[in-house]
Amino acid sequence: MNLRKISFRQFLIITAITFFSITTLIWGKVFANSIAQVVQKQAYDVERNIVYQTVNQHQLKLDVYKNKKAGLRPTLMVIHGGGWIKGNKEGEELFFKPYLDWGFSVVNINYRLANTALAPAAVEDSICALNWLNNNASKYNFDTKKIVLTGFSAGGHLALTTGIMPDVTKFNQNCPDIKKTKAAAIINWSGITDVNDLLVGRNQKYFAVQWFGNQTSPREIEIAKSVSPITFVRPNLPPIMTIHGEKDTFVPYSHATRLHQALKKVGTVNQLFTVKGAAHGGFSKIQKQQIYASIKLFLIKHNIISKNQ
């Protein structure tokens, strides 16, 4: 293009496109390096792809972000989302970055997806991962009295199920030496609380059906009930905070409100953070800032971290 012949309007368009391209490149690099910078600044040791369990020759792996400060550290176990059919731990780093700023150690796990093993395999794996965390607490200075479970969507479901299931014996076939580990708190982001609601009926979702091998027989219905957090509601559970978009239809907002009301009815400490106008994730920067500020206050209130962290 002959620059001497372009109009002022064309010049502005070219300038805007160039600025946008450069800005996008810069911000991409910023986000890509953010965890590395935090790890370096906060003095973390990172160990990736530790095998925490092997099932039918399939290795289940996790990453550990070990806070190198002296003494026991509050520890976050992160379970990725993806409707039990996709996703991996590698996509979760920005999700748990604030916890590194607060001094947590982090255990970020993978689990078997539906293309490897159907329901309830993901539940079994999450329980085994928590067992691994407990068994390796002394090696990594995990504070077993300050374990927080978190996840988004299917990860929220698995965090809830792992943290509040009263009897895990029928889901521990692959880690029979399991010890019951009590979570100090659960932070549930848009999690499925009633699996049956997504397996059959008007709220049926393709990912739930796939997780059950495209079967909805009485057997699948019974399994779905046995891994639904709403089934386990009772007094004296760990404090639970739920974050959910009020316009979410992928995992209906009613999953959050039903769990909130059920927990409230039995006297279990819980908090519902409704994200106004939001659907399934995609929260704005301001909304995320508000959410993490509320999570921090929630953790302070329940003596998991101190005010100065």
Pair (238, 179) in one structural domain: yes
DSSP string, 227-262: T-GGGG--TTPPPEEEEEETT-TTTTTHHHHHHHHH
d(CA 56, CA 119): 15
> 8 and 137 share a domain?
no
Q: Is-contact 247 279, C-beta < 8 A?
A: yes
Other C-beta atoms lying within 10 Å of the C-beta of residue 186: 27
Q: What is the mean pLDDT of the chain?
A: 89
One domain for residues 134 and 267: yes
Q: Is residue 196 part of a domain?
A: yes
Give the H/E segment covering residue 10. helix 8-42
| Residues 30 and 132 grouped into a single domain | no
Range of the domain at 214: 44-301
Are 16 and 120 in a shared domain? Answer: no
Could you give the CA distance from residue 45 to residue 70 in angstroms, rounded to a whole number? 13
Residue 157 inside a domain? The answer is: yes
pLDDT score recorded for residue 172: 83
Separation between Cα atoms, residue 24 and residue 278, nearest integer Å? 25
Unique residue bearing structure tokens 């159907």: 118
Domain annotation covers residue 307: no
| Model confidence pTM above 0.85 | yes
Where residue 167 sits, what CATH number does that domain have? 3.40.50.1820
What is the total count of domains within the chain? 2
- What CA–CA distance (Å, rounded) separates 199 from 194? 9
Mark whether 97 and 72 lie in a shared domain: yes
Q: Are 252 and 197 in contact (CB under 8 A)?
A: yes
Residue 309 lies in a domain: no
* Three-state secondary structure call for residue 49: strand
pLDDT 10s digits, 13-72: 333 333 333 333 333 343 445 666 666 666 899 999 999 999 999 999 999 999 999 999
Q: Based on the domain organization, do 30 and 133 belong to the same domain? A: no
Tens-digit pLDDT string for the chain (309 aa): 444 444 544 443 333 333 333 333 333 343 445 666 666 666 899 999 999 999 999 999 999 999 999 999 999 999 999 999 999 999 999 999 999 999 999 999 999 999 999 999 999 999 999 999 999 999 999 999 999 999 999 999 999 999 999 988 888 878 867 777 899 999 999 999 999 999 999 999 999 999 999 999 999 999 999 999 999 999 999 999 999 999 999 999 999 999 999 999 999 999 999 999 999 998 999 999 999 999 999 999 999 999 887
Q: For residues 55 and 69, state if they share a domain.
A: yes
**How far, CA to CA in Å, does 141 sit from each of 73, 161, 208, 260?**
6, 25, 37, 33
Same domain assignment for residues 101 and 17: no
